[in-house]
Structure 1
Amino acid sequence: MATVHRTTLTPGKLELLTGWLPTRSWYVGDAEKPDLVRAGGFRLDDPEGEVGIEVMVVADVSAREPVAYLVPMGYRGAPLEGAPDEALIGTSEHGVLGTRWIYDGVHDPVVVAQLRALLLGRATPQHQSESDTPDTTVTVLGTGSDDGSGLRITRVLRAEDAVEGSAARLVAGWTWPDGAPARGVFAALAPE
């Protein structure tokens, strides 16, 4: 299981996401510079131990009503070969591991593979900030098969009951800035 280091990351994740998020087509805010707060998430383990994987929820509180965004991220010790320019969120100096290249997880094959594994019951979600601690609040509803189904990531999260259906859906929670808990669908397997 991945170790969560108690160290510095410069620039920090929120600082990197503040500059990156408004450049995304799915950003619904109208601020040039969002005001982001951590709202939740979890980690996944890379079976090879090379890529740090975090599925992070950030809330933008710059608008009248906060908006929750899902950003899966892959932390790498070297650039990801073949990744498009827009896949790189940024680089940061980790107090223990050195320079980390932080990628939008939808462009990182290790992150995508582990999200699929989670939806298929082959991976265990880990607590976002504790080493070797499963996150039992993350659940998978429905069933999936390894039949080439596409992976759909929900970028703008909505608090909702898990929708009916048989396809595998990843359901997890976050906390709004006012402290109210919410749950919704983070990802799902969808036929291609």
Structure 2
Amino acid sequence: MALIHSAQLNPSKIDLLRAWVPGQPWVGSTDPSSLEHIDACRFDDPDGEVGIETHLLRTSGGAVLQVPLTYRGAPLAGAEAFLISTMDHSVLGERWVYDACCDPVYVRALATTIVTAGTEAALEFANPGDAREVTAHVLGSGSGEVPSIGAVNCSTVGSATTITSGTLELTVYRVVDVEAEFHGPALTGTWPGQADPVLLASLQIG
């Protein structure tokens, strides 16, 4: 379960995303100059230290972008290249915001969700009056044991980022193709206007 605080953020998440996303190579031929936030969903960090949130954004041309972020209370050693920004959180203080594809906590959470046929985390609101409905949902299609996750490497070709850790390989599709076919262990998602599950990530274990 992910605990959500009532807090002021500087910069706001959407401002951070609108500043960072247009400069990323994986946007390809999409036009990210105007980004609408569709919704976001969370994964749990079993240690309760790292916030894990995947944002879904719609471009002015109608393309849907998948942007996973992690929020940390201290810098992640060796991950300077994947730091997006710092953020002032009025409850938790300074937060370091990373491209989650290169964060081992996200990689473990994503792999676990896929192989256990899991879903997004339920939200618990520190202030119950702030409770809101989550309209973006994800589901894993695999079965089996969670693989061991150690050091991770990530690389982007086209609009997909490939993450490797030991014998595990994950592919995260940054620009969502609603027509993509998928087989084997995968993460699919739905959101308002997209009732049929679409491919968000796939997993292979060598």
**TM-score, normalised via structure 2 length:** 0.76
Q: CA deviation digits over 1:103-149, x for unaligned, max 9?
A: 0101111011110111111754224xx32899894222244663823
Asked if the contact 1:91/1:101 (under 8 Å) is kept, the reply is yes
Aligned residue for 2:128?
Answer: none
Q: Residue type matched to 1:170 in 2?
A: L
| 1:2 corresponding residue in structure 2 | 2
Say if 1:126 and 1:135, in contact at 8 Å, map to a contact too.
no
Report the equivalent of 2:124. 131
**Inter-CA distance 90–140: structure 2 relative to 1 (3 Å threshold):** same
Q: Which residue of 1 aligns with 2:174?
A: 155
Q: What residue identity is the alignment partner of 2:18? A: T
The 5 Å alignment of 1:27-42 reads 27-29=27-29, 34-42=33-41
Find the counterpart in structure 2 of residue 185 from structure 1: 199
Deviates more, 1:93-102 or 1:182-191: 182-191
1:139 and 1:170 in contact (8 A); partners too:
yes
What are the superposed Cα offsets for residues 125-174 of structure 1, whole Å, 9 maximum, x if unpaired? Answer: 224xx32899894222244663823011010012237x352x21101123
Letter in 2 for 1:21: V
Taking structure 1 as reference, are residues 142 and 2 closer, same or farther at Cα in structure 2, changes over 3 Å only?
closer
The within-5 A match list for 1:40-189 is 40-61=39-60, 65-85=61-81, 87-121=82-116, 124-127=119-122, 130-131=123-124, 137-143=137-143, 146=147, 148-160=167-179, 163-165=181-183, 167-175=184-192, 180-181=193-194, 183-189=197-203
Contact 2:135 2:191 in 1 (8 A): no
Specify the code of the residue in structure 1 equivalent to 2:189: A
* RMSD after superposition: 2.6
- Structure 2 gaps of 5+ residues are 126-132, 149-166
Instruction: Indicate the SS of the match to 1:157.
Output: coil
Question: Comparing 147-156 with 109-118, which one deviates more in the overlay?
Answer: 147-156
User: Which structure has more strand as a fraction of its residues?
Assistant: 2
For 1:83, the aligned partner's letter is A
Q: Distance in 1 between matches of 2:107 and 2:187?
A: 13
Query: Contact (CA 8 Å) 2:117, 2:141: kept in 1 or not?
Result: no
* In 2: Cα distance, 1:136 partner to 1:89 partner: 23
SS where residue 70 of structure 2 aligns? strand
- What are the ranges of 5 or more consecutive residues in structure 1 without an aligned counterpart? none
Amino acid at match of 2:124: S
Q: Percent identity?
A: 34
